[in-house]
Structure 1
Amino acid sequence: MGLFGKRKSGKAKETAAAAVQTSAFSNRRYARMGSFANLGLNNRVYRSLRENVPVIDAAVLKIIRLMNDFTFETGSAAVDAEMNGFFEAVDVGGNQTGISAFVSTYLSDLLTYGSAVGEMIADDNGFYALYNGELSALEVKRAQNDLDLEFYNGGKKLPRQDLIVFSALNPEPGSILGTSLLRGLPFISDVLMTVYHTIGENWEHAGNLRYAVTYKPADGDTDAGVAKNRAEQICRAWQDAMSSRDTVKDFVAVGDVSVKVIGADNNVLSSEIPVRQLLEQIIAKTGLPPYMLGFSWSTTERMSQQQADMLTTELEAYRKIITPVLIRIARKYLEIRGVDLPVSVKWADITLQDETEHARARLYTAQAEKLLKEGCNDG
């Protein structure tokens, strides 16, 4: 026996199971009660943002289109061709085809709601389809080790947990659900919608004028009854003139009668600056340059290389979240086919050349319009 040899005990020491110690559930006996998290929580708010604010919806779709192009690689040309061909034609939800459609919907949920869930429709005999899970129908909770996740539907645990894929966007420590890209925008969007609603009200009033007809009796007309009769006559004559749709009628009155448009003296507040400030906040949250969404606020603005690099970094971050999901799907396919090869996802290079050209074209158009407007004003 060595100098530092260990003395063997009669009883074998039990090894503790690996589990998380720093979560809120680690040392609280009843903390797991009611610990289910509904994946559809607050989804209605973010869905309404995309429905009511077109620039938000356009930004999400632009991000999806810029990054959704990939292939699977295993090192075997034959396997790669067969697998990529299969996933190009795989059924997605019964109404779409191709894994790109699955990823587009998956990304849309991830960016909009902060969480996304999908399902592989497969068994030991084959891989049949992909399905984008309905977030509002699912619940998720921590497993006993506080690390793994368990999915439920209507309170019943799903029998094939291995077929479920799940992603969370920037989750907070200890939180299961991710953080929506649109977090922080409900207040900004509500103010923006208030401004647009006010603009609509002003234009509605401008197209549906209201008039104030004022009759001032002469100094000698001291009889209140006579003044009342004349006011009623003026009222009937005005209504008759304004209600005529087929012919033009004149309104003739005797005495001191004035006709004014109600609200004509009020100054309409300029909405250009506040609307631009609100849109700047929204676009900054998406990480996209303004030109990509059709805005040309400054005729000297260009999509610089630094902007392109920053956008590429944002897209690469989203790809890193999606890549593990795609690898799980590919491994499941290879497992069913009995192929034991490593698989990786090869994303297409992010090129913003077309977007830059479109942005430059919009810039030139904005500059031309500004020059024409200045020329007309000088003339």
Structure 2
Amino acid sequence: MNLGRLKRKQPEAPAEAVVQLRPGNYPFHILDRYVPLMTPETKLYACMREAIPVIDSALYKIQRLIGGFRFVCSHKSAERELNQFAREVKVGPTQMGLESFICSYLDSLLLFGNAIGEIVLSANGRQIAGLYNSSFENVLIQRGNNPLQVEIFRNDHGNPVPLEMPQLILFTALNPQPGKVCGDSILKSLPFVSSILLKIYHAIGENFDRVGNVRFAVTYRPSNQGMDAAYAKERAQQIAKEWAAGMAAGKTGDIRDFIAVGDVDIKVIGADNQMIDCEVPARQMLEQIIAKLGLPPFMLGLSWSTTERMSQQQASTLNSELCYYRRLLNPVLERIGTTYLRLNGFSCQPTVEWDTLNFEDEINAAQARLYNAQAAKLELENGEEPKQIPVDLSTAIEP
């Protein structure tokens, strides 16, 4: 037998998966497959963030609370080089470090419901030159032929231009609806509530202009006898002139007394009226906004009544929210890390290790392990077999 003629059987290319619930084709269906990322809603969300400081503060706090991270690889040399790359990679024109890129990426994801970035290669294509957070105006999204696929194009004045290396594009959608490509902003259900809150604030400002900014009513009542009746108009004009001059002098710190002859009455306009109390309706609107953002009120500077137990529950809920955002960012970080390792000749797979969110959990877990060790020691001293009790952070014993 001539072994030289034996050929290895080539593996067959896997067939493309077919989704049974895909949408049907109809004339001009290609136009319906394009999904713009820059929509009127995105501009609305940006205006809401600018108008309501609580929203802006919450988004920045989530970015800071998400914490730092590091890459872990089976190859220690690869791990060391990858973490150095994460600290020194250029991000946009002015920033540096993978953490800066991921904060901007998360900010776009929360505010607009979508985030898009790019791994920028060097001129020779052998190294990563930097990372870039793209504006939605530069991108068009198209549903692929298969509902499991998404195609990204460059927006050239409304015309989709195919990308040379689409594998370098990073795209994440926040809670997309079934059958949809793009995600939903964290502010999706808040425009109506925000509009009411802004109306309340606007009304407070208008009321302060009318009542808080003191105005005076100067009334001159001339008598019907002698010179008062004949020169009432001239005296009224003179009083008005002197009053205006005295008020103008007060703006520069010069105190001038106002002296008038006759029956002159001076009153403050609006002093007898009280401003409408807007604290309760404003708080109700803020409660809806904060409930959607997922942050405890005390983290946003709101001193609402709370208890120690309630604060612990709020902190636990916040940990769950942050862990969810971390899970959304893990594929993006791992893809960047894998690209760097492959370009530098490493075959290992990186994983992301995040910083501890709550040190209290670590303390409780350590204390629970201590109690287990003490119990095992007592059981050994009594001639019993130690029981292995798993440590769960959610059931860790509190001091």
| Contact 1:168-1:177 at 8 Å conserved across structures | yes
- Partner residue, 2:340: 333
**Alpha-carbon shift at residue 82 of structure 1 (Å):** 1.5
- Partner residue, 1:277: 284
SS across alignment from 1:196: helix
- Partner residue, 1:104: 103
Query: Which of 326, 340, 363 is the equivalent residue of 1:319?
Result: 326
- Partner residue, 2:218: 213
Change over 3 Å in CA distance of 1:20–1:251 after alignment to 2: farther
- Partner residue, 2:34: 36
Q: Distance in 1 between matches of 2:246 and 2:59?
A: 53
SS across alignment from 2:30: coil
User: Bigger CA drift: 167-176 or 301-310?
Assistant: 301-310
| Contact 1:68-1:103 at 8 Å conserved across structures | no
Q: Distance in 2 between matches of 1:224 and 1:177?
A: 79
Query: Normalization by structure 1: what TM-score?
Result: 0.80
- Partner residue, 2:152: 151
**Alpha-carbon shift at residue 89 of structure 1 (Å):** 0.9
- Partner residue, 1:167: 172
SS across alignment from 2:346: coil
SS across alignment from 1:78: helix
CA deviation profile, 1:203-230 (whole Å, cap 9, x unmatched): 4445643222234455779x98665455
User: Bigger CA drift: 297-306 or 76-85?
Assistant: 297-306
Amino acid at match of 1:152: F
**Alpha-carbon shift at residue 93 of structure 1 (Å):** 1.2
- Partner residue, 2:47: 48
- Partner residue, 1:267: 274
User: Bigger CA drift: 289-298 or 105-114?
Assistant: 289-298
Structure 1 residue 253 and structure 2 residue 261: aligned? yes
Q: Distance in 1 between matches of 2:51 and 2:343?
A: 44
Q: Distance in 1 between matches of 2:85 and 2:255?
A: 71
Amino acid at match of 2:46: R
Q: Distance in 2 between matches of 1:299 and 1:307?
A: 10
| Residue correspondence of structure 1 range 301-312 to structure 2 within 5 A | 304-312=311-319
SS across alignment from 2:170: strand
Structure 1 residue 187 and structure 2 residue 188: aligned? no
Amino acid at match of 1:126: Q
Q: Distance in 1 between matches of 2:360 and 2:300?
A: 15
Structure 1 residue 80 and structure 2 residue 87: aligned? no
Change over 3 Å in CA distance of 1:302–1:219 after alignment to 2: farther
Amino acid at match of 1:73: V
Q: Distance in 1 between matches of 2:37 and 2:313?
A: 37
User: Bigger CA drift: 345-354 or 184-193?
Assistant: 345-354
| Contact 2:222-2:229 at 8 Å conserved across structures | no
Q: Distance in 1 between matches of 2:278 and 2:339?
A: 55
| Contact 2:69-2:355 at 8 Å conserved across structures | yes
SS across alignment from 1:32: helix
Amino acid at match of 1:49: M
CA deviation profile, 1:226-264 (whole Å, cap 9, x unmatched): 654554454345445444444512232313x43222222
**Alpha-carbon shift at residue 322 of structure 1 (Å):** 1.0
Q: Distance in 2 between matches of 1:182 and 1:98?
A: 28
**Alpha-carbon shift at residue 103 of structure 1 (Å):** 0.5
User: Bigger CA drift: 268-277 or 161-170?
Assistant: 268-277
User: Bigger CA drift: 89-98 or 234-243?
Assistant: 234-243
Structure 1 residue 20 and structure 2 residue 19: aligned? yes
Structure 1 residue 298 and structure 2 residue 299: aligned? no
User: Bigger CA drift: 334-343 or 316-325?
Assistant: 334-343
Structure 1 residue 57 and structure 2 residue 39: aligned? no
Amino acid at match of 2:150: L
Amino acid at match of 2:143: R
Change over 3 Å in CA distance of 1:301–1:56 after alignment to 2: farther
Change over 3 Å in CA distance of 1:242–1:107 after alignment to 2: closer
Change over 3 Å in CA distance of 1:310–1:93 after alignment to 2: same
Amino acid at match of 1:147: L
Query: Normalization by structure 2: what TM-score?
Result: 0.76
CA-atom RMSD in angstroms: 2.8
* Length, aligned pairs only: 338
Amino acid at match of 2:257: K
User: Bigger CA drift: 287-296 or 166-175?
Assistant: 287-296
Amino acid at match of 1:95: T
| Contact 1:181-1:285 at 8 Å conserved across structures | yes
- Partner residue, 1:364: none
**Alpha-carbon shift at residue 277 of structure 1 (Å):** 1.6
Q: Distance in 1 between matches of 2:360 and 2:182?
A: 35
Q: Distance in 1 between matches of 2:331 and 2:356?
A: 19
**Alpha-carbon shift at residue 147 of structure 1 (Å):** 2.3
Which ranges in structure 1 are unaligned for 5 or more consecutive residues? 1-14, 355-379
| Contact 2:35-2:140 at 8 Å conserved across structures | yes
Q: Distance in 1 between matches of 2:292 and 2:128?
A: 38
| Contact 1:234-1:253 at 8 Å conserved across structures | no
- Partner residue, 2:202: 197
**Alpha-carbon shift at residue 325 of structure 1 (Å):** 1.2
**Alpha-carbon shift at residue 266 of structure 1 (Å):** 1.9
| Contact 2:73-2:349 at 8 Å conserved across structures | yes
Q: What is the percentage of aligned positions where both structures have the same residue?
A: 42
Q: Distance in 1 between matches of 2:351 and 2:241?
A: 83
CA deviation profile, 1:79-127 (whole Å, cap 9, x unmatched): 2112111221111113111111111110010011100011111265222
